Amino acid sequence: MSEKYKLEYVWLDGYLPEPNLRSKTKIVDSEPKSVKDCPLWGFDGSSTQQAEGHNSDCMLHPVALYPDSTRRNGYLVLCEVHLPNDKGPHPSNFRATVADDDEGIWIGFEQEYFLYRDGRPLGFPEEGYPGPQGPYYTGVGYKYVGDIARTIVEEHIDVCHDAGINLEGINAEVAKGQWEFQIFAKGGKKAADDLWMARYLMDRVCEKYGIDFELYCKPIKGDWNGSGMHTNFSTTMLRDKGGKEYFEKLMAAFDKYKDEHIAAYGPDNHLRLTGLHETQSIDKFNYGVANRGASIRIPHSFVANDAYKGYLEDRRPNSQADPYKIIARILKTIKSVK
């Protein structure tokens, strides 16, 4: 019998306020050499909030191909959802809103999340709470990181690297059971594609251990940090020329469109952006050097020698946000600066 190949088609559904990942497997006779070798495929959009039952066909258009080391002869095929009969992108397809002319943007996402077991974060007792925040951030040892988290996050590094995703680091975060991984890529769509696939792979790893990958931005009420997805960005202009005058114009534009940014930065962000727990209030915009309570944090390297060159960190996006929406909004604001 000739060799068979497993293509896992991965897409985003139409659920609100943010989409869920969906996937299904196509078995093919030949190994794909590029995403162009992956055929279009249909699915039932009435089961994913993307169509009515009487007219349920939606189409998967492959846009990125990744090796899948978790399966023999496996590949992951990231797809955009399109309407049937070549009628264009589906309204739920926010990847299609990211500009192809992306100003030479480089993106680094800091994806925070919780690992949950039996309805509560890893390490939380059945009743009440563990000790207060402080020792968990970059913590080491069973009493700080628990019994399975390290296994999961290490395995996730490996499968992401096997897939060609540039996962640059991990760490335990401020709340118990909370972690972070960082994804970097050049190009807006590439960065968001890789972030979504890294999320998918974390879900797959967690399935093996009976653990939930929790992206909601404020799963624990009270004096516990929420989860963000700080978005570091740099453009050709910021890297090569910069300058204080341009920087101040850029920050004025980010202030002008602060409401539009918040609308794109994930649901229930008012629960996280309170002005406490290393955040600025949701209704305010500010920036500052090394200020983790600012909307935009400026690295020391950016202002060194009054160059105002390099990258900036937008700390407002939350952990559940759709990276396509984040990048589309950042690019739109950048393009508004003359």
Place of tokens 């909601």: 216
Tokens at 73, concatenated: 């002869």
**Shared-domain flag, residues 233 and 219:** no
Q: Which pLDDT band holds residue 234 (cuts at 50, 70, 90)?
A: very high
Query: Does the pLDDT value for residue 277 go beyond 90?
Result: no
* Span 225-238, average pLDDT: 96
**Shared-domain flag, residues 260 and 303:** yes
**C-alpha–C-alpha distance, residues 144 and 136, integer Å:** 5
Q: Are 291 and 242 contacting, i.e. CB atoms less than 8 angstroms apart?
A: no
* Span 40-48, average pLDDT: 97
99 within domain boundaries: no
Work out how many domains the chain is built from and give that number: 3
Question: Average pLDDT over the chain, rounded to whole?
Answer: 96
**Which residues neighbour 249 within 8 Å (Cβ) at sequence distance 6 or greater?**
337, 338
**What is the reported pLDDT for 186?**
97
135 within domain boundaries: yes
**Shared-domain flag, residues 267 and 316:** yes
CATH assignment at residue 189: 3.30.590.10
* Span 30-51, average pLDDT: 97
Q: Which pLDDT band holds residue 338 (cuts at 50, 70, 90)?
A: confident
Q: Which pLDDT band holds residue 222 (cuts at 50, 70, 90)?
A: confident
**What is the reported pLDDT for 279?**
86
Domain finish residue from 203, 223, 243: 223
**C-alpha–C-alpha distance, residues 103 and 237, integer Å:** 8
Q: Which pLDDT band holds residue 137 (cuts at 50, 70, 90)?
A: very high
100 within domain boundaries: no
**What is the reported pLDDT for 97?**
96
**Nearest residue to 254 (alpha-carbon basis) of 307, 332, 317:** 332
**What is the reported pLDDT for 53?**
79
Provide the residue type at 158 as one letter.
Answer: D
**What is the reported pLDDT for 149?**
97
**Nearest residue to 177 (alpha-carbon basis) of 123, 112, 218, 227:** 123
21 within domain boundaries: yes
**What is the reported pLDDT for 55?**
84
pLDDT cut 90: percent of the chain above it: 92
**Shared-domain flag, residues 219 and 233:** no
Least confident of 35-44, 263-272, 277-286: 277-286
Backbone CA torsion sign across 297, 299, 302, 305: positive
96 within domain boundaries: no
**What is the reported pLDDT for 223?**
86
Tokens at 92, concatenated: 């739920």
**What is the reported pLDDT for 2?**
85
Q: Which pLDDT band holds residue 275 (cuts at 50, 70, 90)?
A: confident
Structural domain including 317 reads 228-338
11 within domain boundaries: yes
- What DSSP string runs through 43-94? EEGGGTTSSBTTB-EEEEEEEEEEEETTSTTEEEEEEEEE-TTT--B-TT-G
**What is the reported pLDDT for 148?**
96
Beta strands in the chain (DSSP E): 5-12, 21-28, 41-44, 57-68, 74-82, 106-117, 120-121, 167-172, 178-186, 212-214, 229-234, 287-289, 296-298, 312-314
* Span 248-267, average pLDDT: 98
97 within domain boundaries: no
67 strand-pairing partners: 75
**C-alpha–C-alpha distance, residues 257 and 205, integer Å:** 38
**What is the reported pLDDT for 163?**
98
Tokens at 293, concatenated: 């309570």
**What is the reported pLDDT for 248?**
97
Q: Which pLDDT band holds residue 126 (cuts at 50, 70, 90)?
A: very high
Tokens at 26, concatenated: 């196509």
**Shared-domain flag, residues 239 and 294:** yes
**Which residues neighbour 232 within 8 Å (Cβ) at sequence distance 6 or greater?**
107, 108, 109, 110, 311, 312, 313, 314
